[in-house]
Amino acid sequence: MTNIPAYPDFTVTLTGNDWRQAEFIHISKLCAVGEEMDEIKDVRINHSKEFADGVRQFHRLYTRRQVGNPELFIPLYELKIFLKSNIVGSIAMEEHPGFVKHGFALSTAAGCYYGLEENGVVKSLCIHGATLAAEREIPRLVKKFALIYVNWCGCTILTP
């Protein structure tokens, strides 16, 4: 965390539970992503219960161990052009004062893309608050940059 926002245009505030729940990962990690997803599906099927109101209670949790860093290397300016987003914001976390160091956010009709960048290179990329427009935008993004899109909570993987 840092006291100074990396980008001053706006700030997106996330919770710790939001961080990397719907993320983009380099295609080379597909096998590791699949193995992690199998573990998450097991917890969802065998160690949780869904109630009538749609709320799911988990009796066991799974912490991802294999995927690690998403291993992205996307120039931020290329991502901004692709997403047609000129306004860059910063990331704040509800539980901590200040801003995420090296954090950035791009707002589009599909939702708020966010992640970490170093020296103008995107190292991690996620989406928060995905809208219906994301159904069109995410597959294009996956194909353009040879990524995998993983929605860990929804137990879905999208490949190019």
**Beta-ladder partners of 152:** none
> Which pLDDT score, from 0 to 100, does residue 52 have?
87
> Which pLDDT score, from 0 to 100, does residue 42 have?
93
Place 116 in a pLDDT band, splitting at 50, 70 and 90: very high
Q: At residue 140, does pLDDT exceed 90?
A: yes
Q: Is the dihedral of CA 123, 1, 86, 159 positive or negative?
A: positive
* Cβ–Cβ under 8 Å, residues 17 and 61: no
> Which pLDDT score, from 0 to 100, does residue 54 have?
82
Instruction: Report the alpha-carbon distance of residue 57 to residue 54 in Å, rounded.
Output: 10
Place 123 in a pLDDT band, splitting at 50, 70 and 90: very high
